[in-house]
A and B are shown apart, each in its own frame.
Chain A
Amino acid sequence: QGRRARVRPQAHHIRNFRDCEIMGRKKRASRKKEQHSDSEDEENEEETVEENKEEAPDEPVQPDGDSDTGSEESGSDNEEDQVSKPIGVQVEYCPKCTFPFEYCEYAGMIEQCKPGLMEWMKRKAVATEGEGEIDEASLENKVKQKKKTPEGVEKMLPGGKVKKKPMATKLHLQEENMVVISVASRQKRKAVTSITGLELFGVKLADAAKDFKKKFSCGAAVVKTPTGKEQIDIQGEFRDQLLEMWEKQFKTIPKSAVFVVDEGKNKVAAFE
């Protein structure tokens, strides 16, 4: 007991001589196993995670941080400590999307990932031995899920919320150069007047919207339609008023190109 093991500078846990002896023994054992020598031996701790938990009842209570002491004195003394460091898991990453293969479906490029993903699934199936068949069906499901739900259908979100997909706005096909004014109902009593096609005649939509706002004392905005075109939405029903101010406002647009959507949802020439 006269020997003193080399004590580390921050060895708070060492309360008695016995601790030093145990540490010394461990250090000598671990030194035997060292393949390469590093400059500072103290920093080469090679105890496992499991050893942290083990504590023989007759040992003094040790703080959690240190695993050295207290775990070796239970029953038979092991001169050869079970020293094994945590080994890093080798994760297989998809070469296409860079995600671990099990997450390829969330990377947004499943079609490119598929070949590699199939290979990985085969390898996994072989490794687990249980499932001999590749789960092609489930893979197809994963790919299919990406398709959009049809319009107007309710979608269940996690957490119980329900999301309704809005119906696509009915757009009259605008193949020819025309300006179309239509009114849709916003709430029970409110309406929206939409004007499409102004940009085809060189009208700057932002400026036009501003003018409408001033003239009608209401909200007007430039909105993108599902087809990609832009239209002006004016909050309120201004079909007739628009036609009245047309000459002053839009001199450049020939009247024959202007159409209005009436109750019958037909396009009628605005000016006779």
Chain B
Amino acid sequence: SNAMFKKFSMEVVQSQNKTKSSVQRAIRQKLEEQFPTLEGAWDDIMPPKSDFMAVKCQNHITLITADKQILFFQERDGPYSPCLRLLQQYPQMLPKMQCDIGACKFIIGGSNIMCPGLTHPDACMDEDVGVGQIVGIYVHGKEHPCGVGMMKMSTDAIRKVNKGHGIENLHYLGDGLWHNHTLDM
């Protein structure tokens, strides 16, 4: 849902227990399946000896952390999304959806990406993806992504319809999670 991390602090954290290794393995398995492009890098991202925790927060959000660094978040049982800092380190992990530069101010304000921003001549949708796919939000002229989103319409539909919300903005530069990315906030 939108505004997920607009306000984010230790207050929303409900439980922080060290996860069982069986659960840990299951989560890591799921992550490896969802992000096959990170094959080989998992030991850098989540070292085997690190302090792995699946932290539960308000609004059915689960955070995956290693050594107090928040790496992924998940709403209910949905797909895992990387934290923006992690995505900036490994941009290949998500499909790139690039908007025109004018959208940047709004993305950083937390608003969703509207279709015209993606069909603009400066915009570019790297791959064809469907609804519900987690994507990286980029802006024309900038190297790094400024947001993590979920497709509300397929890339096909965005091109055809060109109206309405195209991508839901889950996590963006400067939101609560960006500033509080370690567990001891």
Q: Which residues of A contact B (CB under 8 A)?
A: 38-39, 43-49, 52, 64-65, 67, 83-91, 98-100, 102-103, 106-107, 157-159
Contacts and interface: CB of A to CB of B under 8 A. Distances in A.
A46 B40 contact: yes
B40 A86 contact: yes
A86 B38 CA distance: 6
17 contacts: A44-B43, A45-B39, A49-B37, A49-B92, A85-B39, A86-B37, A86-B40, A87-B41, A98-B178, A100-B143, A103-B142, A103-B144, A106-B104, A106-B174, A157-B102, A158-B102, A158-B103
A106 B41 contact: no
Nearest to B36: A65
A90 B90 CA distance: 9
A213 B103 CA distance: 43
Given A102-B142, A102-B143, A106-B105, A86 B41 contact: yes
Given A83-B40, A99-B174, A103-B173, 19 more contacts: A47-B40, A49-B92, A67-B39, A85-B44, A86-B92, A88-B89, A89-B89, A91-B89, A91-B144, A100-B144, A103-B108, A103-B144, A106-B108, A106-B173, A157-B102, A158-B103, A158-B106, A158-B117, A159-B114
A159 B89 contact: no
Contact of B88 (A43, A47, A67, A100): A100
A100 B142 CA distance: 10
Interface of B: 33, 36-45, 48, 85, 88-92, 100, 102-106, 108, 114, 116-117, 120, 142-144, 146, 173-174, 178-179
Interface of A is mostly: loop
B90 A86 contact: yes
A88 B39 contact: no
Nearest to B144: A100
Interface of B is mostly: helix
A99 B103 contact: no
Contact of A89 (B33, B37, B91, B116): B91
Contact of B36 (A43, A46, A64, A87): A64
Contacts of B104: 103, 106
Nearest to A160: B116
Contacts of B91: 89
A107 B109 CA distance: 10
B48 A85 contact: no
Contacts of B44: 85, 88
A156 to B, nearest CB: 9
Nearest to B146: A103
B179 A98 contact: yes
B134 to A, nearest CB: 17
Contacts of B45: 88
B174 A107 contact: yes
B27 to A, nearest CB: 14
A48 B39 CA distance: 7
A38 B36 CA distance: 21
Contacts of A86: 37-41, 90, 92
A81 B8 CA distance: 45
Nearest to B29: A10
A63 B19 CA distance: 32
